């Protein structure tokens, strides 16, 4: 966190460069660098508020606002009408967490600590939840082609219905964790980061940091999204590639670093929980929420993903599930996860607009 705080210098620099209407590529780069420490502050402030809220409500806060940074960026993108970029960022976040973050965690943790172990039952439950999430994203895409022939509105109703079901599953998973935690007298479950016994910040400080970092996050998100069109033209990238690879990395770097750090400390349960838990939050909470947000903003977004995204999601969930079956990991499995992510990233890079 201390190193991330040094990057806060990029926040005023990005705003200044944007106000002066300088090179859009420079604006985009500085805004992206400024978003990273703000995302870290948002996460830290949420953790501090969770301590004051207590184990039950605190776990709910962490589970609900863990991806606040990316949620803000995507809401701004929806307002600008970049719906394909938003859907691509949903796919990219899931892929990034279960392939890139988990891959680096397993690789570096294995190189330092040898074979690492984690709770196989928890990993199995998480893999099943990931499978349900992917099913919820695959089914609308498959059926939409047949449904749209009859009625385009029916496709939107299907997306809304699936969004409701996914959010219901997410709420049930939170309820299950809450009940399990109560049975264990408020202790953290395997794969969940325990809340500190005492907050490092005062309540007023946590609320103030949350409010200020959220405000600057919205500002930088507008700058970031506003510069994307110039980046696409100048670098020859597609909106789809930016959404799948670049945006998720920018919004989740702080959380990614935490996952790798705890793996190096041989806390593989927690590392797996961070990467898989974040993927579940994106698929079961953020994606459905964005559907309703888009409706409120008058820019309805469906949960119909293209075949390339679906193929990548199925491949990622399959390889992650296979690796987690035995409850142990080594550096080679980390390299395998990273190899799959690299293959997917290259395919998306060469995919034409």
Structural domain boundaries in the chain: 2-350
pLDDT at residue 176 in the model: 80
* Interval 130-139 mean pLDDT: 87
What does the pLDDT average to over 249-260? 78
CB of 257 within 8 A of CB of 48? no
Question: In Å, how far are 100, 110, 256, 313 from 97, measured between CA atoms?
Answer: 6, 18, 8, 11
Q: Please give the pLDDT value at position 68.
A: 77
Q: At 329, give phi and psi (nearest 5°).
A: -140, 155
Q: In the predicted model, is pLDDT for residue 163 greater than 60?
A: yes
CA distance to 4, 12, 214, 217, per residue, from 211 (Å):
18, 17, 5, 10
Cβ-defined contacts of 1-8 (< 8 Å, 24+):
1/40, 1/44, 1/254, 4/36, 4/37, 4/40, 4/254, 4/257, 5/37, 5/40, 5/41, 6/37, 7/33, 7/34, 7/36, 7/37, 8/34, 8/37, 8/38
**pLDDT at residue 139, rounded to an integer:** 86
pLDDT at 185: 54
What pLDDT is attached to residue 182? 65
pLDDT band at residue 234 under the 50/70/90 scheme: confident
Q: What pLDDT, on a 0 to 100 scale, did the predictor assign at position 59? A: 58
Identify the band that residue 149 occupies on the pLDDT scale cut at 50, 70 and 90. Answer: low
Mean pLDDT across 309-331: 85
What pLDDT score does 303 carry? 84
- Cα–Cα distance between 329 and 331 in angstroms, integer? 7
Compute the mean pLDDT over every residue in the chain, rounded to the nearest whole number.
83
For residues 87 and 305, is the Cβ–Cβ distance under 8 A?
A: yes
Is residue 338 over pLDDT 90? yes
Q: Right CATH number for 2-350 from 3.40.50.2300, 1.20.1420.30, 1.10.3720.10, 3.40.50.1450?
A: 1.20.1420.30
**185 vs 242, higher pLDDT:** 242
pLDDT for res 181 = 65
Residue with tokens 């039952």: 121
Using CA atoms, how far residue 189 sits from 41, 55, 167, in Å, is 25, 11, 22
Distance CA 95, CA 77 (A): 20
Mean pLDDT for 314-321 is 86
Q: How deeply is 170 buried, as exposed, middle or buried, from its count of CB atoms within 10 A (0-12, 13-18, 19+)?
A: buried
Read off the pLDDT of residues 68-109 as tens digits, 9 standing for 90 and up: 778 888 888 898 888 888 999 999 989 998 899 899 999 999
The pLDDT, as a whole number, for residue 57 is 61
Percent of the chain with pLDDT over 90: 16
Centroid of chain to Cα 212: 22
Mean pLDDT of 150-162: 80
Is residue 41 pLDDT above 70, yes or no?
yes
Map residue 61 onto helix, strand or coil: helix
Is residue 236 within 8 Å of residue 57, measured between CB atoms? no
Q: What average pLDDT does the segment 54-59 reach?
A: 60
Beta strands in the chain (DSSP E): 116-117, 328-329
CA-to-CA separations, 206 to 103, 200, 202, 267, in angstroms, rounded: 32, 9, 6, 27
């Amino acid at each position: 966190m201390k190193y991330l705080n040094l990057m806060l210098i990029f926040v005023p620099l990005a705003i200044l460069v944007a106000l002066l209407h300088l090179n859009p590529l420079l604006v985009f780069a500085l805004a992206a660098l400024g978003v990273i420490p703000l995302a870290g502050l948002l996460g830290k402030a949420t953790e501090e508020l969770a301590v004051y809220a207590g184990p039950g409500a605190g776990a709910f806060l962490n589970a609900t606002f863990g991806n606040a940074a990316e949620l803000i960026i995507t809401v701004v993108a929806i307002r600008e009408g970049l719906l394909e970029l938003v859907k691509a960022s949903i796919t990219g976040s899931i892929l990034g967490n279960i392939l890139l973050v988990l891959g680096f965690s397993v690789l570096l943790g294995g190189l330092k600590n040898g074979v690492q172990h984690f709770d196989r039952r928890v990993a199995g439950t998480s893999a099943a939840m990931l499978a349900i999430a992917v099913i919820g994203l695959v089914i609308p895409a498959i059926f939409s082609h047949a449904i749209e022939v009859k009625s385009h509105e029916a496709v939107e109703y299907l997306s809304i219905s699936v969004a409701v079901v996914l959010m219901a599953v997410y709420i049930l998973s939170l309820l299950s964790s809450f009940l399990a935690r109560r049975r264990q007298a408020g202790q953290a479950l395997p794969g969940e980061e325990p809340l500190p016994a005492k907050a490092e910040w005062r309540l007023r400080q946590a609320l103030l940091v949350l409010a200020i970092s959220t405000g600057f996050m919205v500002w930088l998100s507008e700058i970031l999204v506003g510069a994307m069109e110039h980046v696409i033209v100048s670098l020859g990238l597609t909106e789809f590639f930016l959404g799948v690879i670049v945006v998720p990395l920018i919004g989740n770097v702080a959380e990614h670093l935490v996952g790798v750090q705890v793996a190096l400390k041989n806390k593989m349960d927690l590392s797996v929980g961070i990467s898989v838990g974040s993927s579940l939050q994106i698929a079961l909470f953020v994606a459905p929420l964005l559907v309703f947000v888009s409706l409120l903003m008058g820019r309805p977004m469906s949960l119909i993903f293209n075949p390339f995204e679906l193929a990548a999601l199925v491949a990622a969930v399959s390889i992650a599930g296979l690796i987690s079956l035995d409850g142990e990991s080594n550096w080679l499995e980390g390299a395998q996860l990273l190899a799959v992510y690299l293959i997917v990233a290259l395919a998306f890079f060469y995919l034409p607009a």
